[in-house]
Chain A
Amino acid sequence: MGRYIARRLIQSFLVVLAVVTLVFVLARLTGDPTDLYLPLHSSPEVRQSFREAYGFDRPILVQLGEFLLDVARLDFGRSVWQKVPAMPLVLHRLPLTLELAGVTITGSMLLAFVLGSLSALRPLSVVDRATTFISLIGVTVADFWLALVLIWVFAVYLNWFPTSGTGGLEYLVLPGITLAWRPLGRMAQVVRSSVLEQLSSPYVTTARAKGLSQPLVLFRHVAKNAFIPVLTLAGTEFIGLANGAVIVETVFGWPGIGKLTIDALERRDFAVIQAAVFVVAVLVVLLNLLIDFCYAAVDPRIRYE
């Protein structure tokens, strides 16, 4: 177990290092980094002083070393758009993104369990067919279009929910549904096949033979084993959620990291973009680690050396 944890920790560190280096190389690949860091209309004098201040004239490896040291101190430079340090700006927006993601993943997981289990208990029933249909929509629909259709129907036409912004619970509904649809669809299918598999396993037959009631069989025996594959999937879905957040936050004007990144892209604010990419990378890596460790803790077979 100890070696397993150590190996996964090193791997995770390398992922973050790779992402940060990639972003650094990208900035230099384009020729003049001042094009990326400064507004397009900056004067040559401003560019020159910026170049000297940031040492763009020095050897690239020295620059990379300095950059990585800055990253280690969480110093990503100043936002040219908001005139404040980039990192606090990103961290300030983080809770809103986490709120949306947390509500989404919890909601879709619970619903996936209900729909998936009901489908597995009654294959080819109405619930099963509806779940298949919901899943198919989830994996094939363009999330930004789904968002617009939801806004059109529920905000513009029916006027039930606000079109965009943050505030009370009513602001969470439409972005939540948009973001939850894909993970819900995929997890419901996994729960379904996983519960089906467990139901036909010998230990369920034994439990039934002992005379256990259906709810007891389901909750005490099946649920625990059916949960493991969903846990793995949750990690992948969280990565997908980071993609979805960029789009959903932009469409719904939800001021989280995703919206900040798009705003920074539009304003050519590279310091903020770098900081945001770094924070997302760390988040995704940490979450995957957490899931892997939970996985290893739940299923003893995973702890291979």
Chain B
Amino acid sequence: MVTQQVEAAGIGAAPPTTPRLTAWQQTLALLAHDKAALVSLSFLLGLGLAALFAPVLLDPASLKMNMSLRFIPPNLQDGHIFGTDQLGRDLASRILMASRVSLTTAFIVVTLSLVVGLILGVIAGYYGRWFDDIIMRFVDVALGFPSLLLALVVIYALGPSIVNIVLVLAATRWMLYSRVARAETLKLRRFQYVEAGQIIGGTDFWILRKHVLPNLMSIVFTLAALELATVILAESALSFLGLGVQPPNVSLGLLIAQGKEYITTAWWVMFFPGLAIFMTTMALSLLASWLGIALDPVQRWRLTSARRG
């Protein structure tokens, strides 16, 4: 509310000659100011595109088993920058194929849990009463239990398939969005423009779509970027323990589990898949902390003003 007034006043006071930047241009300008976020985003885009087009880009021979090429250490001369694995496959190519699976799985899980969590959270926050009570009790209970252990047991009972992994991970991760969306909706419900919308006879659906959801987006997307990292970690942990993605599919966690056996003789087989996870989650977390500020009109100025220290 306050921010809207400030923004409106700011636009009115601006000299008419300065063209208004579109939201995209504004965001790009902000991004140019933050090196960590820029590098993170470039890395994620690069990895995402490489993983997406991996089947086209990669030489099929690099993924074939070839016992004469076993355990070649990382080197730049013959193109195996991360070395080869126990069956003579190029590790860099394997990591790219595994990233495809890991990133896709994480992306679907986050989308699914975001949509479910957001809807339930907004309804609980907007309508309140018994629905709110039930949902929030449930959220409290679900957040109060180690999710990996529960996921392990559920997947054990249902059988490890990618669909089950997605469902179980989504079922353990939607609560965070609900909690955040509910808290924000509770706050927004009291704002004048929401009340104004009700007075002019707007339906609940219209108010939620026009006035509540847009205001939730910044916090929810920031959370989603962080959750993407958490889900990548959770999926790789399940795969590492043998209850996630199953061979012949590969995921980063599975690669590490296979590489674990050769830790004394060929460290790179377990090292580089883990490094890929680490860099991805690190980039996501840096990007999330930037997003949190960039999408918040109250804090946005911090990014363009000169840095201290």
A residues neighboring B (CB under 8 Å): 11, 14-15, 18-19, 22-23, 26-27, 29-30, 36, 124, 136-137, 139-145, 148-149, 151-152, 156, 239-240, 242-243, 246-247, 250-251, 261-262, 265-266, 273, 277, 280-281, 284-285, 288
Contacts and interface: CB of A to CB of B under 8 A. Distances in A.
12 contacts: A26-B154, A30-B158, A136-B286, A142-B281, A148-B270, A240-B146, A243-B148, A247-B241, A261-B149, A262-B241, A265-B152, A266-B242
Interface in B253-309: 253, 256, 259-260, 263-264, 267, 270-271, 273-274, 277-278, 281-282, 284-286, 309
A246 B148 contact: yes
Contacts of B145: 15, 19, 239, 281, 284
A155 to B, nearest CB: 9
A145 B252 CA distance: 11
B153 A145 contact: no
B144 A148 contact: no
B156 A246 contact: no
Nearest to B256: A145
A142 B237 contact: yes
Most B CB contacts (10 A, CB to CB) among A145, A149, A250, A285 go to: A145
A153 to B, nearest CB: 9
Given A27-B157, A142-B233, A265-B156, A148 B263 contact: yes
B278 A140 contact: yes
Contact of A284 (B146, B153, B156): B146
Contact of B270 (A141, A145, A261, A266): A145
Main secondary structure of the interface of B (DSSP, over half): helix
A152 B253 CA distance: 17
A242 B243 CA distance: 18
Interface in B176-229: 229
Given A30-B158, A262-B241, A246 B270 contact: no
A285 B278 contact: no
A123 to B, nearest CB: 8
Contacts of A124: 309
Given A140-B284, A141-B278, A239-B146, 17 more contacts: A15-B145, A27-B157, A140-B229, A140-B278, A141-B281, A142-B236, A143-B237, A148-B260, A148-B270, A148-B274, A246-B148, A251-B260, A262-B152, A262-B241, A265-B156, A280-B146, A284-B146
Nearest to B158: A30
Interface string B131-170: 0000001001100111111101110111000000000000
B240 interface: yes
B233 A243 contact: no
A145 B146 contact: no
Nearest to A28: B157
Contacts of B267: 152, 156
A156 B152 contact: no
Contacts of A148: 256, 259-260, 263, 270-271, 274
A15 B256 CA distance: 34
Interface of B: 137, 140-141, 144-150, 152-154, 156-158, 229, 233, 236-237, 240-243, 253, 256, 259-260, 263-264, 267, 270-271, 273-274, 277-278, 281-282, 284-286, 309
B135 to A, nearest CB: 15
A18 B271 CA distance: 40
Contacts of B285: 136, 139-140
A285 B96 CA distance: 41
A281 B309 CA distance: 47
B277 A11 contact: no
A141 B284 CA distance: 12
A255 B214 CA distance: 50
Contact of A18 (B141, B237, B270, B286): B141
A141 B281 CA distance: 7
Contacts of A281: 145
B289 to A, nearest CB: 9
Given A15-B145, A124-B309, A151 B263 contact: yes
A288 B144 contact: yes
B271 A149 contact: yes
Nearest to A273: B153
B177 to A, nearest CB: 17
Given A15-B141, A136-B285, A273-B153, A152 B241 contact: no
Contacts of A280: 146, 149
B271 A14 contact: no
B277 A26 contact: no
Given A30-B157, A265-B152, A273-B153, A144 B144 contact: no
Nearest to A243: B148
A265 B263 CA distance: 24
B157 A239 contact: no
Contacts of A239: 144-146
Contacts of B260: 148, 251
Nearest to B259: A148
A176 to B, nearest CB: 19
Nearest to A247: B237
A152 B277 contact: no
A212 B278 CA distance: 46
B282 A140 contact: yes
Given A250-B241, A277-B153, A156 B148 contact: no
A149 B154 CA distance: 29
Nearest to A146: B274
A137 B278 CA distance: 8
B152 A261 contact: yes
A47 B12 CA distance: 79
A149 B260 CA distance: 10
